[in-house]
């Protein structure tokens, strides 16, 4: 949603989709007391369809623990994928959607061996099509006006999975926009993850590097160092 006042319209869309796929009725809606959930039209709609309303106490997000925790999980996953791949923050929406797809098909709750996808649809999900977010990819150019010797592939960036078709979502560099395409070759081998700057780690006073000599062996302690260690060792 671009604005919170779209929450009511989004809920109506979700209600129709969820009830159609599950053959179940929404009986209760639990939320915080945000203005987007407490409008008169929202109350009237829930009353019309017999949906009971429950609200968390003000300034107690722990009562919405499940949704608050999941929101944070999705945000952290999206941030990690953008940072690791070096993809622009402009694509945060695509990263968040890719994170949701991954969680729904792989996340397993405590004492539960089923994924959310399997619980909802009743079948084991496939993850064979999963690729590394932000990888370089090559998208087939299906333009019929191409010349005989013009390249048939456009370079792009893999941004996840299409919500409306069996295809990948990619940023086409030539077109300058996001496209959905199934004819995509992903170069995961050429993916270079962000490297850790070891110089910054060694500046930490608690970091003790494991130094070795030229022959790969750990240096031996000098007599002075052995004496200081013995003095610090308590006698029995």
How far is Cα 134 from Cα 79, in angstroms, rounded to an integer?
A: 12
Each residue's pLDDT tens digit, 186-224: 998 766 665 545 454 444 444 344 444 545 454 454 545
Cα 202 from Cα 209, distance rounded (Å)? 7
pLDDT digits (tens, 9 = 90+) for 99-109: 999 999 997 77
Rounded Cα–Cα distance for residues 98 and 100 (Å): 5
Average pLDDT, the chain: 83
Instruction: Let me know the angle formed at the C-alpha of 96 by 92 and 102, rounded to the nearest 5 degrees.
Output: 145
The arithmetic mean of pLDDT across residues 163-182, rounded, is 94
Mean pLDDT, residues 57-75: 86
Q: What angle do CA 206, 210, 216 make, to 5 degrees?
A: 170
């Amino acid at each position: 949603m671009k604005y919170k006042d779209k929450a009511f319209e989004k809920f109506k869309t979700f209600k129709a989709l969820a009830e159609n796929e599950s053959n179940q009725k929404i009986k209760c809606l639990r939320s915080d007391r945000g203005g987007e959930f407490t409008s008169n039209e929202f109350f009237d709609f829930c009353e019309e369809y017999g949906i009971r309303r429950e609200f968390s106490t003000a300034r107690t997000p722990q009562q919405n623990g499940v949704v608050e925790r999941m929101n944070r999980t999705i945000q952290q996953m999206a941030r990690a994928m953008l940072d690791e791949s070096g993809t622009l923050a402009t694509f945060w929406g695509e990263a968040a959607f890719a994170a949701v797809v991954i969680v729904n098909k792989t996340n397993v709750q405590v004492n539960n061996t089923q994924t959310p996808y399997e619980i909802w649809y009743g079948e084991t999900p496939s993850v064979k099509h999963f690729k590394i977010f932000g990888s370089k990819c090559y998208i087939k150019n299906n333009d019929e006006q191409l010349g005989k010797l013009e390249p048939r592939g456009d370079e792009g960036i893999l941004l996840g999975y299409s919500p409306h078709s069996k295809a990948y979502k990619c940023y086409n560099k030539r077109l300058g926009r996001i496209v959905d395409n199934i004819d995509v070759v992903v170069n995961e081998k050429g993916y270079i993850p962000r490297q850790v700057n070891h110089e910054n780690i060694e500046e930490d006073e608690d970091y003790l590097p494991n130094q070795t000599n030229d022959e790969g062996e750990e240096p031996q302690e000098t007599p002075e160092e052995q004496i200081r260690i013995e003095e610090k060792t308590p006698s029995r």
